[in-house]
Structures are given as structure tokens and as C-alpha cells.
Structure 1
Amino acid sequence: MVGVLNDSDSEDELPPGWEERATLDGNVYYVNHYTKGSQWTHPRTGRKKLVEGELPSGWEKCVGDDGKIVYVDHAHHTTTYTDPRLAFATEYRETSQPLRQRFDGSSSALSVLHGRDLRGKIALVTGANTGIGFETAKSLAFHGCTVIMACRNIKKGEEAIEKIKSQRGNVSCDILQLDLSSLHSVRNAAEKLKQKYRILHILILNAGVFGLPYSLTEDGYETTFQVNYLSHYYLTLLLEHPLRSCSNARVVVVASESHRFSSFQTPEDIHPMTLSPPEFKFWSMGAYNDSKLFNILFAQELARQWPTVSVFSCHPGNMVSSDLSRYSWMYRMLFAVVRPFTKSLQQAASTSIYCATVPELQGATGVYFNNCFRCEPSNAALNLSLASRLWNVSQEMIINIVKRDKLWYDLALK
């Protein structure tokens, strides 16, 4: 049910720094130019709008030279990116279920992509040889996308590609060696990708570990923290040029609803020693929760710093049956018990695919999704100061490793 709401013009007026825009399917969203964020609800009324019907007389919708939708007013010989129907948008309140939600928790990745042609698109998926990452890569490849499968184990990655090709022969898949427990490997992977591909349309940061006992990477950082967050942060920054060189590029950061249980709440909580704690302060579940909060904070800050790239974070599903629980017999048993009640791998991949491909998200950024629908993350995940602090400390931690590696290299040459 949709109820039309007639409010005064003063209540409907946007605050300074805000702009009203419309997606291709008519949903109105609001852009905050101060924070570089966006949202579906009006910042004053908290309600949503919809534009419907034909364009006003004399107007035409066209595709500009940059690939974006433009509106041409033939009567006045002007061109604008703003949908002229915004002036007549209908405001509505959802009284039962979300309006026009095309997909939900039962949708599969392939159903989200039904009818889509992704030929000419290039996507990189981390952790693509197994689990949700494999279904994500397969679904993109089935619809014509060139998929770069970033995997730690090259042999397993090649086997995954052969499996995809056995199901559909005419697909374009490439393999990229990427070990997220090594910043050196991340640098090498990024350089190899940039040598072969000039642009990158989609980056899906999917790989992760769960329930891992305490261990340190070769860089000296706690493994869950580095694999789930820090190396993905570094990889994304290294791929800035290919991502920002194409229009409408998207970055999808796979997070989790478990981010709500993170202990990090204020900027003062973030230091190198708290991000990568010593063993006596380590708890595997806590490390996982924290890393998933970092994923969302990273997505929020990246959306602010790269306004021309659409950045989303998402929750794939609860305790999905994959290789994620392989490091703990207790978690393997728990995942096996709940398997009949959780999503399939195809369903778990649907929200990543939704964020990476659906046209109605064009122009939106900095949004968190669950079950192919926008939802609000925790208050900590929306803390811009916390996100900025995490970004800066993460950068310092990477620079320290890069400087150390360069020193060792210089000493080896002497």
C-alpha cells in the first residue's frame, strides 16, 4: 500500500548541500555533497519519492558521450543530467513491505542477472575459486562479463575456471595470483592486472577467513585483520586508476551483519595495536566481527573520497554453507547443523551481484545492503570520524611495511 503525502514546501525543502536525483527505474535518492554519501529517504521528511509517467512535452532522454543518461529540452535547447519529472515526483510512505523491491533473500545471483548483457565489462572477484566467490564469478561470466578470478592457490583457481567452462563453454575468465596474507603479493597482483587491463568496471572484495586461530602474516599483522580488511583496502587503492578510468565503476565490499557486535565504537579505539592485537587480547570471533565493521567503514570512506565510483557494502547471509568455517571443527559442525535453514551459495551471491550490476543503483554510493535491499548498518559503521581514522591508520600501517620491504631490498643489493 502506498499513501500519498501532501506536505508543505518548507518541510520538503532540501537542507544546504543536498541534491535530489532519480534512478533509471524512477526511484528518487538524495546526495549529500558535504559527506559524498547518498540515501533513499528525504533528509527532512524521512520519506521516499517516485517519478513516473512520460517526460514533459519537448523533453527527450538520451545517452551522453560519457555513457550517462541526459535529458534534452528541445524547446529551450538545453541539456541536463536531472530528470525533469523530479518536479512532479510523488512522495510515498511504505505501510507494508518495501515498494518495488525486485529481489530478496530467496533470489539467486543468476535471477538478479536475468536478461542482462555484461559483454565488455571487466570484473575482479577475490576468493573466486570457492564458495560465494565462485558463484559470484560464475554468474558474471555466464552473462558475458570478463571475470578475473583472484585466488591464493593458482591450481584451485584454474580448476574453478574449468568447472565454469564445463557448464558453459563460451565464457571469459582469467586467473590472478593473490595472497591476501602478503602485502607484497597484493602489490604484485595489482601490477599484473594493470599491465593487462586498462580499466576495471567491477571490483568485488569477497575473500575472507573466519574462526582462524591466532597467527601473524609475513607482514607481522594479525591474519584475520589483514586478510579480511587491510589487504583489500590496499588492493583497492592500488587499482584506483583502472577503476576511475571508466564511467560507472563499482566497488562491492562483502561485509557481514556480525559487524554490529564489534567492540570499536569511537576514533580513539583505533590504533595499530588494537587493529592487530597481541595474542593475549585475541578472540577469533571478535576479530571477525571487527574486520567486518572495518569493511563497511572502508566502503563509507572510499565512497566519500572517490565520488565518481559507486561503492557498496553488503551482507551475503548468515552461516552460509561454504569453506569459510574450515579452520574450526566447532564452527564446521555448527554450520552443518544450520545448513538446511540458510541460503544456498547462489542466493548468498545475489546481493553482491545486485550491488555490482543493477542499473537502478547508478549514481548511488556509500550504501549497505542485505537481501538485495538497502538497510541501515550499526551506528559505528555510520561514524564518519571513525571511518576517517581507520583509513589514515591503515595507510600508515601499509606504508610502514612498504618502507621495511624497500630497506631490505636495498640492503640485499649492497
Structure 2
Amino acid sequence: MNMDGPLDFENEDLLVNPPPSADKRKKVIELDDLVSEHYKEQSKLIDKGNRKRKASSKLYDSDDDDERGQEALLSIMNEICSEEDTQEWGLSMFEDQKAPTRSLLPDIDNCYLLKEFMSSQLNSVVDLNPDNGTAFLEGLLANGWLTKLILTCARVETIICQWTLDILLYSPKEDLSSSACDFWCSILLSQNKVNGAPFEIQWLPNYQILKEALESYGFRINSSQDAEIPEADSKSQGPPQNIRAWLKLVSACCQIRCKKPIFTASQLEQLAEVLVWLLLDRGLQGLSLLLQECLISVTESFREEEWVSSCKNIANSLASRVPQDMNCLRIVESVAGVDARSKHLRSTIANQMLVVLLEHKESDENLMSSLMAINLKEKSCNLFRTYMMLVLAENWLLSKTVFARSIAPIFGLLHQKFVPKLHIFVKDAEAIELVNLKR
């Protein structure tokens, strides 16, 4: 008998020996239960996969909608761009070159300088004769000795003048043409004196000779409005190599007009127009600085009483002939506003182009009123044309200090009205607002 164990009646007490809890009883898991649980888990996985596929399909549909919206927007943009002609600037100002007239071609055998050489003692060393006289002078010209000799004598005869000018304008040898150009620039701008007498030039070129040379180069003097950008493989078109020497000669002739007037005011106007047209030729971009310097020489050679009327004549001629596209802006930008007259010319050209674009409303008040009346929300509004007119108006007003100050509030309002919306046209990032404006 266990003395330490509970008594018989204590075993029957529920407080001392409580019955086992039903929760703690272990359930016997049968094979059917395992199979059922497996199918439940598989069903959950399938449902989860279906939900993922539905969510991804909604995302793809949203992406497709975005792509379709972008395509529609691009199609509208292409339609707008097709309505606006925004071709690049540039005109081919030279066509097929012609045979030069060569109206100069003097008889070099009658040259006084050559005869002096033949009769001097130095001829025993040089062995100069009429057959090799031209080659001898070309050698002197090429190495610069002819220029030094003429400057020392402070006198140049007619035959030498005509002979060197013919080489300058028409010689296919670039080094010889360049030497002839240096010769002419030196004698035209020379301040040398001998025995107190100024440098004597017996013969000077004229406008007709320079015009004939330009025509022989193939320059489109009267067909600038019909000129087009040349084909990439074009071999017959393009500026000739002598055009550089031609420009330097024109510049030198203009610089001495106050002492030796070679050109009349009307001829200077035509030269200025030619130079501006040349600035539109992409084939001459390498000569842009030389062209601008030459244009400044031409404008500075006008007398004070000639300048105002001549400036307007130049602007009127250019505005009436230039195509109404990017070339309008290029012409204005090509006139470098580095001095008072070039700024005046730039402003006048811009003004006359506005007059043409706005149907010849020549009053300044009418021009400004027409600009203010433009409504960008109208479907018929030409945004590119509006942009051109704003740029032209800016260049027109920049040189008019007093006028610009007096209309500053009006122009400021005009600028605020148009420029932000034109930036929308330029920036692809804000294309939606552009479409709203177009509608």
C-alpha cells in the first residue's frame, strides 16, 4: 500500500484530478484530409495567379492607351508641322560659270616698266626679251617685288593696272590672283609720297568691270528670288575661287572713296545688295567675316547726305525680292550691327520686311497695331510667320532708342502675349498646350 498516494475518495474529486481537456486531444489525420488540404492550397495558388494576371492585363491596357494617345498627339503634331513651311535658310547664288569677257587684256609688251628693264644694265643678267616679259612680270608679282617696286616709284601706269586687275579677277592660279589682290590693296591704300607728291594711279577699276566679273562667275544678279539650295552632288554650281579677291578689291575701293570716288551712290547700293545676297549662300559661309567687313566698308563709304535715302533703297530692294521664309531672318542676322550704320541698315531691312509681310502698312502705328491684332488661338494663325514677324519687329526697334523707350509698355505686352505661346510651339515637352491652341 502506498502511504504517499492519494486516498480512494480523493481520486474521485474533480478538483484534484480534472478530466483531460478535449482541446488537448490529438486528432487522427487521415489520408483524405491530406488530399483535401492539398487541393485547397492549389486552389489558393491558382486564384492568386489569376489576380496577378488580371492586374497586369489592366496595366498593359493602360500602357496601350498611353501609346495610342501619344500616337494621336504625334499625328496632330505632324499635321501642324506639315502646315508650317520651316525650311532652312540658304540660296544658291551662283549658277554655271561663263566665259569671261576679258575686256582688259592690255598689250604688256608696251609696258613702260618692262622697257626700262630691257634697256637697263640688269638685262644682261636677266636676259629679258618680249617673249618672256609676261613670265618675268608674273614672277615679280608672285614674290611681291612688283608691289615694292611700284610703291618705291609712287607711280603705277595704266598697262600694269589693267594687267594685274585681269589676273586678280580671272586667273585660275590662286597664288597669282592672291598676289594681284595684295598688289591692288597696297597701291589703293598706300600713303607713300615721292618728293612731296602723292602716289599716282593712272587707271582705276569701275563698277561695270566688277559687275562683268561677277556675272562671269555665274552670280544670279536678277534671279535671287528663284534661287534654291543646290544639290549635294552639284559640280557646276558654287562660288569661284576669285570671289575672295573680288571682295577684297571692292572693300579697298570703298575705303578710298572720300579721296578717289570710284563708285556712285546708286552703284554702292547695288554692291551692298550683292553682298547681302552672298551672305545667304551656304557655299560662302567660310567667307562670312570677309563679307561682313566688305559690307561695312560699303556702308561707311556713303556720304552723310546720301546714307539715309540709300539705306532705305537697299532695304526696299532686298525686302521685295527675298523669299518669305527663314531667309528673311537670315538676311537681318547677317548684317552685323557693330557700328551705327550697320545697325541702321539692319533695322531698316527688318522694317521693310515687316511692311511686306503685313501688306504694305508703312505707318509704324499700323505695323504695331497689326502685330497686336494677331490671335494665336485662331486655327488659321500661321505660327511660324508670327514668329518671323516678332523677330523682325525686335530687330527693327532695337536701333530706335527713343522710339523703343516710348513704346516699351506696348512691346512688353506684345512680348508677353506671343513669346510664351511660341515657346510652346518650339518645345516638344509642351506639345499638349500647342494642340489646344491649334484646336
Q: Which has the higher strand share?
A: 1
For the aligned pair, the TM-score class normalised by the smaller chain equals under 0.3
TM-score scaled to structure 1, two decimals? 0.23
Q: Which structure has the bigger radius of gyration?
A: 2
TM-score scaled to structure 2, two decimals? 0.22
